[in-house]
Amino acid sequence: MHNQSAALQHDPWRLESLDDLNKLKEQLEQKIDPDHPEIVVCHGTGCLANGSEAVSDAIQTALSDSGIKAKVIPGIKTTGCQGFCSRGPLVLIRPQGIFYQRVKPKDAGDIIEKTVAQGEIIDRLLYKDPQSGEKIVHEEDIPFYKLQDRKVLHNIGKIDPTNIDDSIIAGGYQALAKALTTMTPEKVVKEVEISGLRGRGGAGFPAGRKWRSALQAIEKKGRPVYVVVNGDEGDPGAFMDRTIMEGDPHAVLEGLILGAYALGAEQGFLYVRAEYPLAIKHLTIAMEQARAYGLLGENILNSGFSFDVRINRGAGAFVCGESTALFTSIEGKPGNPKPKYVRSVEEGLWGRPTVLNNVETWANIPLIIDKGGEWYNKIGVSHSTGTKVFSLVGKVNNVGLVEVPMGLPLSDIVEKIGGGVPGGAPFKAVQTGGPSGGCIPHSLKDTAVDFDSLTKAGSMMGSGAMIVMDDTDCVVDLGRYFLRFLEEESCGKCMPCRFGLSRMREILDGFSEGRGTQADIDDLLSLSEAIQDGALCALGSSAPNPVLTTIRYFKEEYLAHVESQKCPAGVCKDLITFQIDPDNCTGCTSCARKCPTGCISGDKKEPHTINADECIRCGICRESCKFDAIRVI
Amino acid sequence: MADPTQYIDDLLDQYPPKPEYLIGLLQDIQEHQGHISYDSMLLASEHTKVPLTQAYSVATFYQSFRLDPPGEHEIKVCLGTACHLNGGQQLVDGLSRKLKIEPGETTEDMMFTLSTVNCVGACAIAPVAVVDEKYHPGASMRKLEKEMKKVTELSPDKIKGEPNA
């Protein structure tokens, strides 16, 4: 990692006031020439996995090798996820804003010698719009970015997350300084109430109302009160919170400090999934740097307000995303949820009043305090204000992270920003809300994406995973997938979840193996009802949602499994057969050599055949065939 | 290591003796020794004043804790939704067949541990497999077999032949 910037560029000194912060900002800005070339390499998880570290290293080497033929030495910056993950590794050249995609280490020399030194654009690295076929030079002209409204993600991809100075130049900690110098804690709560901000973790409970209840609980019980960040992003298919924590840790921290100021908390906790080591690292660096400036810790900005934070690493339990389970985990115990007869704002961590909000919710707070609740309230639609970050994944061209105002039609996100399904067919369904959510079919593609409209369609906002499915994805298989996931993750404390989910999964297993009956579908529905009513926590009671929505919208597909023992999508192994298309098969023997059961036979250069009785439908033949000759029937 | 328990003493010093620090302490121990042995569990439970049975209850509740030593190399297959739709389960099945172990198990020669993870948050590059902390985007059996061969050859106490062929 390029951590030379982790150390501050100058001697840190404690900031004592808003003026100090502004002076520092000015000084830092003066050092920067906006026309100075800068090469920005995305170091988000997707780009890193695609080799962006080798790219930034190669650029560094190319720069030293070039003997600085370039008149000015460009700066090299590595940032958090820029969002357009499917085109990674991404490289941005400033100040022109030239956007290069799928960059390889061997392109580094050209980038330095052609683009940086001579301003020449390298055609092969440009993004080509699949619809118009046109090559696009600038980031802001690419449809994927053009239609987004990046507010929470605003700094991500622009700042170096390991350098607080970068964040301060971008306006970081302004909201905190403003609140501490010009606003009472009550005023901060009021602004959050006016903003209409609803929790981004899933349920969409209004954040302002939660804070108000906590204040009422404090009146009754006194302090201490705790503020907690829920960074246990366990929904499979979701990486919004990861990106925010990795790419702009200061936004989360600043939001949390603001919350602590509003509620009078002295101690906060960041509960972060252990699977996110980079997020933990960046948050830790952010905390150290904020402490050095006096923006965290004792007597923040000389206001008399003191507050500190500790990081708790999750240990791999999905249920710990649930508030009461998360609290017991911070207390050092197994993460079992508790019944919520008393709400956690009243009795949370160690029985004290506690405000728990999700990462994205906290990252919205500085925006609200900086620009005002009224301003925020006008973004999005009534009852669902602001923007929402989604991870757009699955069978969609532009996989990545998108931020849009609430209330945008689903089709705009999937088709306009996401570029639709590869191959151009309409999407089959979009799964939102993870294991607690549901599938929205193509017929409802105009559904507005906000809390209430999604709930009405039988799904939910959830934390923001949006998984696009096409005709080759089976809804029965998806239902089984989520049930198996929840069955494994169930903490086992309550009966409906512990046994009910297993029973539901067994029924779906039957469907996918051709043993299902009509009566089983009815059983699924009544079991679902029992689990919804009887489970102890929200993870259990929402668990039947994926199955319920798919039965609601894709009943024929269930019936095909039950009545004619067919899987129309060609996924359920026991209901499909692999065959070789003799017209396409060239007899290259590649599949026969790789088949683990040796069930493919044929002479060289002659079409091969698969012995269906021995085939285990592992799909290795299809993977190894270069001539698209393997058919699933 | 001169004194295998020295690092545990150092770790214990970093944590106040309170039950709330048990999880963090166990995580650090596992990071050092790859798993949590009975002896280190005993030290951790005594230090944080958590009864040993309850410390085990914590260690067995959370998926990331390992009570047995892992193999030299770990292959983690992501089974998040995007990876599932793109064939993550087929990778698990294929690796299981190849290594002759189930997910969560280690090969007899202690070379590979196969595990699954519920989403590593890298959905854009599904299906993902993580071999010794290195992400493999768009993983396939072919690519993983190559990688397994590579890491086996790099191993200091190299095992003869193909990885568990």
Q: How many CB atoms lie within 10 A of CB A593?
A: 10
Is the distance from CB of A280 to CB of A313 less than 8 angstroms? yes
| Surface-to-core class of residue A538, CB atoms within 10 Å of its CB (0-12 exposed, 13-18 middle, 19+ buried) | middle
Gap between the Cα atoms of A242 and A435, Å rounded: 18
How many angstroms away from the CA of A310 is the closest CA of chain B? Answer: 11
For A312-334, how does the pLDDT look when each residue is reduced to its tens digit (9 = 90+)?
999 888 888 899 999 999 999 99
**Mean pLDDT over all residues of chain A?**
91
Q: Is the distance from CB of B78 to CB of B117 less than 8 angstroms?
A: yes
Distance from CA of A508 to the nearest CA of B (A): 17
What does pLDDT average to over chain B?
A: 87
Contact B82 A45 (CB under 8 A): no
Q: Which residue has the higher pLDDT, B6 or A317?
A: A317
Residue A8 has pLDDT above 70, yes or no: no
Contact residues on chain B for A85, CB-CB shorter than 8 A: 124-125
Using 50, 70 and 90 to split pLDDT, how confident is the model at A567? very high
Residue A72: predicted pLDDT: 64
Of A109, A113, A84, A112, whose CA–CA distance to A99 is shortest?
A84
Under 8 Å between Cβ of A372 and A365: no
| Interchain CB distance below 8 Å, A394 and B85 | yes
Q: Name the burial class of residue B10, with classes exposed (0-12), middle (13-18) and buried (19+) by CB atoms within 10 angstroms of its CB.
A: exposed
| B10-31 pLDDT tens trace | 889 999 999 999 999 999 999 9
pLDDT for residue B161: 42
Q: In the prediction, which pLDDT does B163 show?
A: 43
Closest chain A residue by Cα to residue B127? A394
Q: Kindly tell me if the per-residue pLDDT of A5 is higher than 70.
A: no
> What's the pLDDT tens digit per position in A593-602?
988 888 999 9
Chain A / chain B CB contacts < 8 angstroms: 142
- Indicate whether B2 pLDDT > 90: no
Per-residue confidence band for B1, with pLDDT thresholds at 50, 70 and 90? very low
Nearest to B20 among A237, A331, A491 (CB): A331
* Least Cα separation, residue B60 to chain A (angstroms): 9
Chain B nearest CA to A466, separation (Å): 10
Nearest CB partner across the interface for B124, out of A393, A473, A620: A393
- pLDDT (mean) for B134-149: 91
Chain A residues in contact with B26 (beta carbon < 8 A): 315
DSSP H or E stretch at residue A519: helix A518-534
Q: Is the pLDDT of residue B143 over 70?
A: yes
* Integer Cα distance of B120 and B76 in angstroms: 10
Look up the ipTM and state it.
Answer: 0.87
Q: What's residue A338's pLDDT?
A: 87
CATH architecture under which domain B73-154 falls? 3-Layer(aba) Sandwich (3.40)
Nearest to A481 among B54, B84, B97 (CB): B84
Mark yes or no for CB contact A619/B87 under 8 Å: yes
Query: Domains in chain A, please, with CATH?
Result: 33-146 (3.40.30.10), 164-378 (3.40.50.11540), 381-469 (3.10.20.600), 475-563 (1.20.1440.230), 577-632 (3.30.70.20)
**Residue A168, beta-bridge partner list:** none
Query: In chain B, where are the structural domains located?
Result: 6-61, 73-154
**Model confidence pLDDT, tens digit, residues A351-404:** 999 999 999 999 999 999 999 999 999 999 999 999 999 999 999 999 999 999
Inter-chain touch B125–A49, beta carbons under 8 Å: yes
pLDDT score recorded for residue B159? 46
- Residues of chain B numbered 36-55 and touching chain A (CB < 8 Å): 48, 50, 54
| CA B114 from centre of chain | 8
φ and ψ of B74, to 5 deg: -115, 130
**Residues A392-439: tens digit of each pLDDT:** 999 999 999 999 999 999 999 999 999 999 988 999 999 999 888 999
pLDDT in tens, A116-145: 888 899 999 999 988 788 999 999 899 999
CB contact under 8 A, B142 and A623: yes
* Model pLDDT for residues A36-71, shown as the tens digit of each residue: 888 999 998 888 888 999 999 999 998 887 765 555
| Collapsed DSSP state (helix, strand, coil) of residue A403 | strand
Q: Residue A276: list chain B partners with CB under 8 A.
A: 121
pTM of the model: 0.91
CB atoms within 10 A of CB A458: 18
- The yes-or-no verdict on residue B96 having pLDDT over 90 is yes
> CA dihedral defined by A87, A157, B85, B149, rounded to 10 degrees?
70
Q: Is residue B142 within 8 angstroms of chain A, CB to CB?
A: yes
Check if B24 contacts A (Cβ < 8 Å): yes
